[in-house]
Structure 1
Amino acid sequence: MTETASPRRPRKDAAANRAGLLSAAARTLAIDPSASVDTIARAAGLSRRALYGHFDDRDALLRELIASGAQRFNAIAGELEVELDPAPVVLARLTGRLWGEASHVQVAAAIALDERHVEDSAAALAPLRRTLMGLVRRGQDDGTLRTDVAAPTLARLIEETARTVLVRLDASSPEARSLVVRSVLSIAGLSWREAESLIAAHPDVVAAS
């Protein structure tokens, strides 16, 4: 009786190269969303040919980055105890914790600016977006968030504000997390004084993870 050989596991160096390419792509694209395959490969210390040995093309690489980042973001949203605090506090906490994944957040934001990947990003981030929509509706219902725009529009404004700030800030800046949180709270309808009071009462929203 002939035994069927078990599938060979990827060599360790191949797995390391793939991980290195993803890491290099995240760093490179966070700075330059239009970075070429050659630029990404060089940043990983590999050749263009080596990159194509792992990914069919640039879009395949981006799709994997989107999926990887989305898993992290959706997990953060799923860990929040949404009903225990007022909507603005949960919104600030969600923003701060997402910033804790700064490198992944920035590359996801950069990729999302590429219209070719809008649908991929939207599908991958559906759980996070549902959490945000729930927060907006709850905040509007109890009057803690602005009500002059419809909930879907406000949720989109919050998302776009966060993305715009994220791609323009230096992730290493100690003020970055606070600025992102304040920007989101502002577009959600809080005055700067209300945002300051919220952060003073809940310092964990801007504390490093």
Structure 2
Amino acid sequence: MVPRIPVSVDLVVLTVRCQALSALVWRRDRPPSEGRWALSGGFIQLDEDLPAAAARILAERAGLPGAPVHLEQLQTYGYPDRDPRQRVLSVAYLGLAPDLPASTEAHMSWEPVSSLHDMAFDHRRIMVDGVERARSKLEYTPLGAAFCPPEFTVAELRRVYEIVWDRPLDPRNFHRKVTRAEGFLVPTGRTTTRDGGRPAKLYRRGPATLLHPPMLRSLKD
């Protein structure tokens, strides 16, 4: 009889919180990997597909029901020793959202990505892959706006890029690049002073799915 391998879904949920790129994690209270941070996850049910499983785990395990989280499939992890208890195949999903509230689950916590070194199982590897996917997608897609509220200033968007890319950006050059990228930003006709100083124009995310020209990290400002 051919053994059946269970399939789980693990979520790398990222947000910009307290001026840091943060991930939603929980500290395991039982073996294996007791005391280590872990991603929220769970096994897929027989009557659901992968996107439905990811949405269910986001609501039930991560404690973010109804949250405006952009979810996309990240990668599949299936090497034999990733879980010491049994052979488990994991399909990881990346979730991105603006500054989210505390989870409805008391055991879940937002922690800066830079502090998450000792994680359960292979969750550090999965999280690092998720962070790199997010950084790469900011180069070629308007996904940076997924970290912003529905209406935002260019300065607020720049802070997202700086936090996710972990590097400072020249304000003038950044403004020029994002406002010239076709379909990236749409002016709302409104302004705000929430950043202090002079009123700043408010924008919303435009219809573009790819940035032209791209916002390449390798290029100098």
TM-score (norm 1): 0.27
Higher helix share: 1
Rg larger in structure: 1
Q: Which has the higher strand share?
A: 2
TM-score scaled by length of structure 2: 0.26
